[in-house]
Structure 1
């Protein structure tokens, strides 16, 4: 019995034996060792950007597979340093963040200008850097759903980053300005030869209706992904879908009944497959976020998310709090368990 099957326990068949009968797997551009030649070679990305994408693909335990495992630690800004690092104060030190990514066998480490800049000369050549270029922050009162630039694309390039990451809060009052800001930044990043990753998150209190939260609905997050690939993200990051029917419940925008009857079901893999489809059928890879730490159940939750992502056609996981809010050896164990899902040839496209 594989470790993944053991961790899934009684839920193993539900996740591993599921057959997707919504969007057929033959339509998906699945990750693989030949992903750059098969998917990206005909695009407008310049040779240096392709080289940067290759650098992300070819590092860590998943090197050469087309899948990625990224450690993201921008929570010191996004959720406050106290809330993020109090469970494990060693991560106030940027070097320990990078060390965790290296020890954990990650493809890359994603963090702020300050974190990565503090140790760039020592580590930029040892693990690919992804500089998160914009952030929300929690000292403006009352808090708003906005993301503002914290530095320049040239700064990220100068510190040796192979990619930049950004967030857009789709649905927020400021989202249209964020789209313009990030589109311009991504265009310059591509000009310099860096890859781009977009956090395609939703933020609007109106996305909660009759006691149900639709911020992670497959239809709404799928459309956020579709907007993200439109401004030429090379990878989109999204929360794993927890429900569907956001457009219908909130009664805005446009959708089709087929989204809910033919193109998805209530199975997590089918819901995630719809997210993948909105990234040009997987041409732009989908990485799902690992979510907050819940303690004892983190390992199983992380493995389930990885299985759903992989079988849906996604290209990996970006998991932070579940890893760094633990002692380093436990964080490494969790990251390795995620990577084991993508290294297991028996876990296939549904």
Structure 2
């Protein structure tokens, strides 16, 4: 309203109301990759896409999570850190605009006050400087860079990935090999991770998560690879979803289709070690690592009681990687033989 003490503030509010668009840049890493995060609550997998390819190759309508295959439109893939950065930048902009308007109102009010009277009123706005926010710090460079053989989109992950974020292509043989490489590289970096984090508790917790993720990625990489090989077999019968997460069930399906079971390729000791790893992955994925009766029965692991939490060690993950790699090579030979006329 005209002549009001708060004309400038009200005008600023009307300008901001529903019509303000802000351009808030998101920083790339030093190699030109953009941080992305799967929007599926059960996944939240973080990865990177080369910024040029995110702009030129990735479609607005559909982006694929490299880990779980979840799809969503391109605006849904900001990381939680980026979302927080945008929120703070928007609040900073709004508070800055309102602060300036209130300062102008105060100046106009002060100019209208009579001078020389017995009572003098002055208005002062304690305006803080508008905060200039830096973009969130880029995550550590991803250790495994991948180029999709179909659309040539370039992306990067830590550990295992299975789907191209641009086209969704899953090249099972390439992805398995790259996933194994990524897991080993992550384990090799444990010393550097410990050295880079000053707080000892934080460092050890980070290392624990790194090792546990390595185990889960190794089992999942084998599962996806076995699934892809299985559907290529001429006599393969339909399999339930995630059948190859179960070592015994996967071996049964494979034997029915190729006349070769997992036991034809791994010793009893190796199969027992792999069974423990598969069951530990199940606990990490579904019970946060807490041991239950099902784990004790299926793993034959006598080190734990129900209610305890499993301890996954680096050497155990390396052993699991070696075993799934050995079995994967054997399955590839089985599949090649089965396709022969």
Q: Larger helix proportion, structure 1 or 2?
A: 2
The TM-score normalised by the length of structure 1 is: 0.28
If asked which structure has higher relative contact order (CA below 8 Å, sep 6+), I would say 1
Q: Which of 1 and 2 has greater Rg?
A: 2
